Amino acid sequence: MMLIRPSNLLLATTLLVALPFTSAAAGGSTSTLEGQRTTSAPLQEGKRLYAQGRYDAALAELDQVRTGPNRSDPPFAEALLYSGLSALSLGRTEEAASWFIAALAVDPQATLPPGISPKAQAVWAEVHRDREDSTSREAVARRLVDTEISSGIADVDLGRADKAVGAFRRALARDFCAQLPGKVTPTTQSLWQTARDLEQGSALKSNKGWLICQLPGSDESQPERQ
């Protein structure tokens, strides 16, 4: 079974970020219409070349769509998808997985066209499983953070300040960017800030990638969540 490595996720994100983007607002409705016209032809040509087995030529043609202005349009996601299929047909499985990940990031409802090879279906399915696993892990982590915050708030209400700070610190250790719910007492806010102050040093020194938000008074660069 082909494993989707973390590097694929980073590469897919890099591909999306690196591709030029022109806001429709900057050019008005005229530029949007022009963009739609200029993406349709190369997309169809890229798909035609792919069907003919001319995969390098297909990638070159699809590059005109990938570097176009309308990065949220369905043709953009479809170009990413066919880029993955073309790369896979050239034996570049890692690159193909990265294009598939990028396509799903643009359009989570994207599907493979009919008649695709079993290998392409397997890589696509693996990408989907990886996305689902990632979403599941994030959901579990979020629930743990929320549980600790709720526990801390309950401790405040019971007058157990030390336990409240401990619960808040455990939440912040998992996600330093976590926030209290909208309406809490001034005492809760004060104890939350105490926990943040205590955890800030650990968050700055952590190599676990928990810190993704700007720390008050910190000029250090922010590591990515892993």
- How much is the mean pLDDT over the chain? 76
Give the model's pLDDT for residue 174. Answer: 83
* CA 33 to the chain's CA centroid: 28
pLDDT above 70 coverage of the chain, percent: 68
Looking at residue 129, its pLDDT comes to 87
Cβ-based neighbours of 81, under 8 Å, separated by 6 or more: 99, 100, 103, 110, 112
Per DSSP, 67 falls in state T
Instruction: Please give the residue that has the higher pLDDT: either 121 or 75.
Output: 121
Q: What is the pLDDT of residue 86?
A: 95
**pLDDT tens across 28-66, in order?**
433 444 444 455 788 999 999 999 999 999 999 998 887
156-200 residue pLDDT tens = 999 999 999 999 998 998 888 899 988 899 999 999 999 999 988
Rounded CA separation 33/41 (Å): 13
CA distance readout (Å), 4 to 70, 95, 139, 140: 28, 11, 20, 21
- Nearest-angstrom CA–CA distance, 215 and 94: 36
Please report which residue ranges of 19-109 form alpha helices under DSSP H: 24-51, 55-66, 74-89, 93-106
169: enclosing H helix or E strand: helix 161-174
pLDDT of residue 113: 92
